[in-house]
């Protein structure tokens, strides 16, 4: 079992930065691949970024490459999403998720989810 709690969301102007954190509890965190997803109003939840259990592999959706960075600190049971050069279209509720095996980009492949944190980018 893994419990996930996101934080760090808020209101920021376009071009600004935010860092999201996802604190995990549970013995299996260090063996879990972690992902960040987002859901804008009226849209389906979409993949943003994922990181392997060791932190050695990362994957990003095309629209955030070069702007967002996913990382993790297994000693602190925490995964981060550094978001720079934010755009209005990044506005969404951001969720972190965990799965027992390797990186995947589909929401259906993740077993555990946090409650989400709102990110609003004003233009």
Q: Residue 47 pairs with which residues in a beta bridge? A: 37
Q: What pLDDT digit, counting tens, does each position of 58-103 carry?
A: 999 999 999 999 999 999 999 999 999 999 999 999 999 999 889 9
- The predicted structure's pLDDT at residue 78: 96
- The predicted structure's pLDDT at residue 101: 85
- The predicted structure's pLDDT at residue 57: 97
- The predicted structure's pLDDT at residue 14: 98
Q: Give percent of the chain with pLDDT exceeding 90.
A: 89
Contact between 44 and 36 under an 8 Å Cβ cutoff? The reply is: no
pLDDT band at 2 (very low <50, low <70, confident <90, very high): confident
**What is the rounded average pLDDT of the residues 52-60?**
96
In 10 A of CB 77, how many CB atoms? 18
- The predicted structure's pLDDT at residue 30: 80
Q: What pLDDT digit, counting tens, does each position of 23-33 carry?
A: 999 777 888 99
Give the C-alpha separation, 17 to 82, whole Å.
8
């Amino acid at each position: 079992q893994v419990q996930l709690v996101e934080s760090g969301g808020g209101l920021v102007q376009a071009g600004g930065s935010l860092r999201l954190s996802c604190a995990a509890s549970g013995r299996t965190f260090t063996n879990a691949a972690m992902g960040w997803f987002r859901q804008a109003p009226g849209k389906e939840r979409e993949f943003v970024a994922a990181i392997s259990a060791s932190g050695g592999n990362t994957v990003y959706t095309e629209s955030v490459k070069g702007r967002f960075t996913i990382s993790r600190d297994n000693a602190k049971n925490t995964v981060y999403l550094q978001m720079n050069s934010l755009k209005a279209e990044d506005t969404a509720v951001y969720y972190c998720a965990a799965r027992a095996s390797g990186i995947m980009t589909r929401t259906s492949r993740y077993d555990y989810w946090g409650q989400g944190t709102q990110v609003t980018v004003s233009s």
